[in-house]
Chain A
Amino acid sequence: MNAGFTTLSTELPKTDPRVKLLNARIKKEHYRPDALIEILHTAQNAYGYLPLPVLAHIARSLNLPPSRVYSTVTFYHFFSLKSKGEHTCLVCTGTACYVKGAQKILDEIERQFNLQPGQVSADNQLGVAVARCIGACGLAPAVVIDDEVQGKTEPAAVIEKIHSKTGKP
């Protein structure tokens, strides 16, 4: 039996509160396949990302081929198959932020932490990502660190904020 097949047939632990939450949502949506994206949102909120056994569980519950679930997950930017890190730094690269120097912030992050957008540090403490536009254009350039929007920010201030979150110098 190969690894992929094992993943597909693994049952999730029923006592896990995250599984309970997920199952409650699936039930609320009456196991309807068209609620797939809503259910994926719930799963990602609970787990922080979408582990393969969770996807397999959703596929079984909604009576969908695992390929349909997997292809939907990989289509949308919002969903991630990998852990995004304990702390996240999301740099907005929308047009207003681009005009006002979002790239400089990304460059400084890469210089300081050796991380490019989409990467997570080796100790899983920090994940760096870019957003298309968070809609805070009046506050450009904007960076979201652990769900907290930092408006009209600068490279040095972003680095400092990240340090304060990760608790490292």
Chain B
Amino acid sequence: MNRQDLQLLTDQAKEKKNSCKHTICVCCGASCISSGSEEVLKKLEEEIKSRGLENEVAVIPTGCMGPCNQGPLVKYMPENTIYQKVDCDNIARVVQSQLIDKKPIEDLLLFADSREKPFLNAEEDPFFKKQLKVALLDCGDINPETIEDYFTRDGYKALSDVLFRMSPEDVIAEIKHSRIRGRGGAGYPTGMKWETVYKYVSDQKYVICNGDEGDPGAFMDRSVLEGNPHRVLEGMAIAGYAVGASKGYAYIRGEYPLAIKRFELAIKQARKNGLIGNNILGTNFSFDVDVRIGAGAFVCGEETALIASIEGKRGTPKPRPPFPAESGLWGHPTLINNVETFAGIVPILNKGGEWYSEIGTPKSAGTKVFALAGKINYSGLIEVPMGTTLREIVFDIGGGIQGGGTFKAAQTGGPSGGCIPAEHLDVKMDYEALVNLGSIMGSGGLIVMDQQSDMVDVARYFMEFCMDESCGKCVPCRVGTKMMHDLLHKICAGNGTRIDLDRLEELAVYVKETSLCGLGGSAPNPLLSTLRHFRQEYESRITTPGVKKELQPQS
């Protein structure tokens, strides 16, 4: 395929799409599938056929639309009307009223059970209104299992532009100009990373997409891979061109079978169309991608451990330097970026680095995807500009606390992050602000907790996680997390003393400072942040009757 062929395919796909007056999107993200959306899709297709509407109404399965706990979701385009909790029984009614009578069923509209007046156009609902979709763009609007649907959104145009109009230096300059930072959590400037890999001279370089989303409570990468896999693939190919790599690996968690299936399908379709493989679009640039499936080890999200895992070994980290940019996969220069970072590359190149750099805060440009979950009314997947306050996310978008409870804290960054208490609800969320509060941005999991949540137990829960997931290579992490867990367990059980608390704080610093990799280095974070913001909960535990009993002389 050459450039003209791509243009032709794009035009054909768009024409075909426009020939249908209506499109009905059925959310087939993992969450909605669990709620039964595949049966709804089947039933809907039958319904449309039985009414003889198949030439004017297209029914497509899509990726995640966002409000996951309201599923299964069905969206009517171009009206942008979303129906929630659709099942095989009420789907016929929805078709009749929406397509034939043109009178939407109010009580089935999105958030009909909780909003006084639900919105006919979902974009006007506060849940969507405050969002800005960049990485999630088109996710929930296109069928992730066909490349034609991706063509209707100018798919692979950015790759074609890059190959024919830009030098690798130009691409890197544009990415640097956009000021995008790594969305995996640490926030290292992506453009600088690309430049470093580009500068190393080697006959073989690699691009790795990190989809080992191990943080409990995070499902951003899964949704992007499930909803728009071609976008990630295109981003990887562009990265390959920019840094001079000819081979890419996508490392995806074994727990995400649907994401693996759809990404593998995307690779197959792109390969068939000559959009990855040898001599892409007739140029002398070649780039191919393989999927590697994770096997359930949290530490493999760390880049050097991930590389070891791709090499078929135990996923244990290595000291850095050398960084993967210099010596990564099989000792070659390797670029590793997160799924969400790769998903952001195509919009940046299509709309320009300038456009992206103007979104967000001075130090953190662009948007961030968050996975909202916990005791919140509307849990699901959202994308907001950096600098959006926590209050806007929890109350405006998330609809407040479930069951009329009070907000106690939001946990970000999973086992490596910390809690943000109610007094900081107005914090503008970006990399630096969260670090100042003792948490981290992390990959984007945001768990909301209400007044019933026991913060000492939350710290114990995350410490148990880190203890189990420690790879055991270095002593501070292997032994330290175990010691801290035991102390936390003791305090939770009401048997803790002041000495235990002091020891815990001392240990936390040692483990943080001396661990080999980020797992140990950040394992004390949930403990330190709950101590910082909810110290009284620890204090009240160690002065409770359990301790007094211990102090009394044995009779």
- Given A132-B465, A137-B371, A139-B31, A76:B69 Cβ within 8 A: no
Task: Contact check, B414 vs A95: say whether CB atoms are below 8 A apart.
Answer: yes
B197 close to chain A: CB less than 8 A:
no
CB distance from B105 to the nearest CB of A (A): 23
The residue in chain B whose Cβ has the minimal distance to the Cβ of A64 is B312
A65 close to chain B: CB less than 8 A:
no
Which chain B residues lie closer than 8 Å to A37 at the CB level?
292-293, 295, 309, 312
B63 close to chain A: CB less than 8 A:
no
Task: Contact check, A95 vs B216: say whether CB atoms are below 8 A apart.
Answer: yes
- Given A41-B254, A142-B34, A152-B69, A96:B374 Cβ within 8 A: yes
Task: Contact check, A95 vs B255: say whether CB atoms are below 8 A apart.
Answer: no
Q: Name which of A16-24, A28-36, A105-113, A156-164 contacts chain B.
A: A28-36
Which chain A residues lie closer than 8 Å to B26 at the CB level?
none
List CB contacts (< 8 Å) of A2-18 with chain B. Answer: none
Q: Which of A35, A41, A98 contacts B295 (CB 8 A)?
A: A41
Which chain B residues lie closer than 8 Å to A95 at the CB level?
216-217, 373-374, 411, 414, 445, 447, 461
Q: Mark B93-105, 1 if CB is under 8 A from A, else 0.
A: 0000000000000
Task: Contact check, B213 vs A34: say whether CB atoms are below 8 A apart.
Answer: no
The residue in chain A whose Cβ has the minimal distance to the Cβ of B329 is A34
Task: Contact check, A136 vs B30: say whether CB atoms are below 8 A apart.
Answer: yes
CB distance from A3 to the nearest CB of B (A): 25
Q: Which of A38, A140, A152 contacts B292 (CB 8 A)?
A: A38
List CB contacts (< 8 Å) of B288-324 with chain A. Answer: 292-298, 309-316
- Given A71-B314, A78-B295, A138:B379 Cβ within 8 A: yes
Task: Contact check, A77 vs B293: say whether CB atoms are below 8 A apart.
Answer: no
Which chain B residues lie closer than 8 Å to A52 at the CB level?
none
A100 close to chain B: CB less than 8 A:
yes
Q: Mark B366-399, 1 if CB is under 8 A from A, else 0.
A: 0000010111000111000000000000000000
Which chain A residues lie closer than 8 Å to B311 at the CB level?
34
A77–B471 CA distance with the chains assembled, in angstroms: 11
B35 close to chain A: CB less than 8 A:
yes
Which chain A residues lie closer than 8 Å to B202 at the CB level?
none
List CB contacts (< 8 Å) of A88-106 with chain B. Answer: 93-96, 98-100
Q: Mark B119-161, 1 if CB is under 8 A from A, else 0.
A: 0000000000000000000000000000000000000000000
Which size bracket describes the interface of B in this complex?
35 or more
Task: Contact check, A135 vs B295: say whether CB atoms are below 8 A apart.
Answer: no
List CB contacts (< 8 Å) of B396-414 with chain A. Answer: 411, 414
CB distance from B375 to the nearest CB of A (A): 6
Q: Which of A32, A76, A133 contacts B218 (CB 8 A)?
A: A133
Q: Mark B56-87, 1 if CB is under 8 A from A, else 0.
A: 00000000000111010000000000000000
Which size bracket describes the interface of A in this complex?
35 or more
Q: Which residue of B67, B255, B311 has the most chain A CB atoms within 10 A of its CB atom?
A: B255
The residue in chain A whose Cβ has the minimal distance to the Cβ of B31 is A138
Q: Which residue of A34, A79, A136 has the most chain B CB atoms within 10 A of its CB atom?
A: A136
A63 close to chain B: CB less than 8 A:
no
Q: Which of B214, B296, B312, B373 contacts A137 (CB 8 A)?
A: B373
Which chain B residues lie closer than 8 Å to A71 at the CB level?
314
Task: Contact check, B256 vs A138: say whether CB atoms are below 8 A apart.
Answer: no
A131–B465 CA distance with the chains assembled, in angstroms: 11
A107–B105 CA distance with the chains assembled, in angstroms: 42
Task: Contact check, A78 vs B296: say whether CB atoms are below 8 A apart.
Answer: yes
Task: Contact check, B255 vs A135: say whether CB atoms are below 8 A apart.
Answer: yes
Q: Which of B214, B255, B309, B449 contacts A99 (CB 8 A)?
A: B449
CB distance from B521 to the nearest CB of A (A): 20
The residue in chain A whose Cβ has the minimal distance to the Cβ of B316 is A75
A72–B379 CA distance with the chains assembled, in angstroms: 37
Which chain A residues lie closer than 8 Å to B255 at the CB level?
131-135
Q: Which of A75, A77, A94 contacts B217 (CB 8 A)?
A: A94
Q: Which of B30, B296, B310 contacts A135 (CB 8 A)?
A: B30
Task: Contact check, A41 vs B293: say whether CB atoms are below 8 A apart.
Answer: yes
Q: Which residue of A139, A142, A150 has the most chain B CB atoms within 10 A of its CB atom?
A: A139
A40 close to chain B: CB less than 8 A:
yes
B342 close to chain A: CB less than 8 A:
no
B544 close to chain A: CB less than 8 A:
no
Q: Which of A41, A99, A149 contacts B453 (CB 8 A)?
A: A99
The residue in chain B whose Cβ has the minimal distance to the Cβ of A95 is B217
CB distance from A48 to the nearest CB of B (A): 15
- Given A76-B295, A95-B414, A133-B216, A138:B222 Cβ within 8 A: no
CB distance from B528 to the nearest CB of A (A): 18
A35–B313 CA distance with the chains assembled, in angstroms: 9
Which chain A residues lie closer than 8 Å to B465 at the CB level?
132
The residue in chain A whose Cβ has the minimal distance to the Cβ of B219 is A135
A residues with a Cβ closer than 8 A to B are: 32-38, 40-41, 68, 71-72, 75-79, 93-96, 98-100, 131-140, 142, 149-152
7 A-B residue pairs with Cβ-Cβ distance under 8 Å, sorted by A, are A75-B297, A95-B445, A132-B298, A137-B68, A137-B218, A138-B67, A151-B35
Query: Contacts A75-B314, A78-B294, A78-B295 given; 18 further ones with Cβ under 8 A?
Result: A36-B313, A38-B293, A72-B314, A95-B216, A96-B373, A96-B379, A99-B373, A135-B213, A136-B31, A136-B34, A137-B68, A138-B67, A138-B380, A139-B31, A139-B69, A140-B374, A151-B34, A151-B35
The 4 A-B residue pairs with the shortest CB-CB distance in the complex, in nearest-first order: A138-B68, A94-B216, A76-B295, A95-B217
